[in-house]
Amino acid sequence: MTLLDVRNLTVTYAGGAAAVRGVDLRLEAGRKLGLAGESGCGKSTLALALLRLLPAGTRVGGEILLDGEDVLAMKWGRVRAVRWAGASIVFQGAMHSLNPVRRVGDQIAEPVLLHRKATPAGARKKAGELLEHVGLPAARASAYPHELSGGQRQRVMIAMALACDPRLIIADEPTTALDVMIQAQILRLIEQLVAEQDVGLIMISHDLAVLAGTCDRLAVMYAGRVVEEGPAARIYEAARHPYAQALSAAFPRIGDPASRFAPRGLPGDPPDPSALPPGCAFQPRCPVALTSCATEDQPLRAAGPHRRAACVRVTPAADGTAPLRDAPAEDSATPSPTEQDPATHGTAPLRDAPAEDSAAPSPAEQDPANGGRDARDDTPGDSPASRPDPVGAGEPEEARPRNP
């Protein structure tokens, strides 16, 4: 059975901020899904919603099936049990998540006592074992959080998350506050634990490079929606959605002097979720927006093997490199049948790919002019259900100049 199946999840905070707007996610045990996006795009809100940790007054819609059981329909007693044994969260900034006046061993032992019905001695023993499992001596159980380094505290948080053998671990920016050496150690530790224990992992980060190196698949969020999803390495190397492209270009690549000396940023900020622009939420910042983007929103559509993206310019053509650039007015090139991937068409929710699309596209399959295609280039086979009406179908679209 699928470990986690999130269907059309919506979260609106009491003040009216629509922080998550119809997200589908699917994760199998033993797989690693990365959730990327700038600060404020709804990643943490989504993570908190999965375990019903959002503040009172927040409206949550959709379904969150954990091992087939809807978390949103559970009674509170069941939710509490699920928070440790079903799924657990490793938060960003361990100093704020640990109780500063309690020894870390006691903090790790607490959920074992509560949810595993262990004796105090048994829970202490388990805490020591967990510390060793995450690379700390069991004797550190007697330390207070301030006596540990940032990396050690994050290891303690991971030990706590593992305390009740959860089936799913959600790691929300687990390495953001750490220096790169420690970050690498913590990432390897998380990977190793996922592999050993066959749990599912949702890793949240603004850093696409970190996610590409750790996860099997990636979902890029913008303004509360997934705007692109697919195999992690392919999205990092050749994103199709203009926002995912910008996010990827913002991180310099090792061995690529051009990106190192001139990392590209994206001007502006994500929109306020209580006052979202009409049409595509990325339109005010999009360097390749069409006139119609100001009024027409786009659902996720096939964007290559095992990939989907929510952009009027994306076709289901082969997974190609698509540099961000100003749009030419039109590009009528329609991909040949060999470039199309009928298997990816349709409305399947975000899921782990059965196999990575490891075959690199041949030059002929590549789509360097992706940014120049307009809505009319949508190829046959893109499910009408997933794309009710191609923007500007049958009418020429105007290219807009780049936003200042």
Query: Which residues would be at the binding site for ligand ADP (CB under 6 A)?
Result: 13, 15, 17, 19, 37, 39-45, 55, 273
Which residue among 94, 311, 317, 350 contacts ligand SF4 (CB under 6 A)?
311
Contact segment (CB under 6 A) with ligand SF4 among 100-108, 164-172, 310-318, 340-348 equals: 310-318
| Options 6, 31, 36, 44; binder of Mg ion; rule CB under 5 A | 44
Residues 238-297 that bind ligand SF4 (CB under 6 A): 242, 280, 282-283, 286, 288-290, 293
Q: Which C-beta is closer to ligand ADP: that of 176 or that of 259?
A: 176
Closer of 82 and 311 to ligand SF4 (Cβ): 311
Using the minimum distance from each CB to ligand SF4, give the nearer residue, 266 or 286.
286
Q: Which of 12, 214, 298, 366 binds ligand SF4 (CB under 6 A)?
A: 298
Question: Taking a C-beta distance cutoff of 8 angstroms, is the pair 134, 170 a contact?
Answer: no
**Which parts of 114-153 interact with ligand SF4 (CB under 6 A)?**
none
Task: Specify the residue, 234 or 400, whose C-beta has the smaller distance to ligand SF4.
Answer: 400
Query: Does residue 205 bind Mg ion (CB under 5 A)?
Result: no
Size of the site for Mg ion (CB under 5 A): 1
Nearer to ligand ADP, 273 or 305 (CB): 273
Residue 190 interacting with ligand SF4 (CB under 6 A): no
Cα distances from 404 to residues 268, 287, 292, in angstroms, run 9, 9, 19
Least CB distance to ligand SF4 at residue 191 (A): 32
Q: Which is nearer to ligand SF4, 105 or 392 (CB)?
A: 392
The answer to whether residues 290 and 312 touch, using CB atoms and an 8 Å cutoff, is yes
> Of the ranges 26-34, 40-48, 72-80, 286-294, which one interacts with Mg ion (CB under 5 A)?
40-48
Q: Is the Cβ of residue 147 or residue 269 nearer to ligand ADP in the bound state?
A: 269
- Binding residues (CB under 6 A) for ligand SF4: these are 242, 280, 282-283, 286, 288-290, 293, 298, 311-313
- Binding residues (CB under 5 A) for Mg ion: these are 44
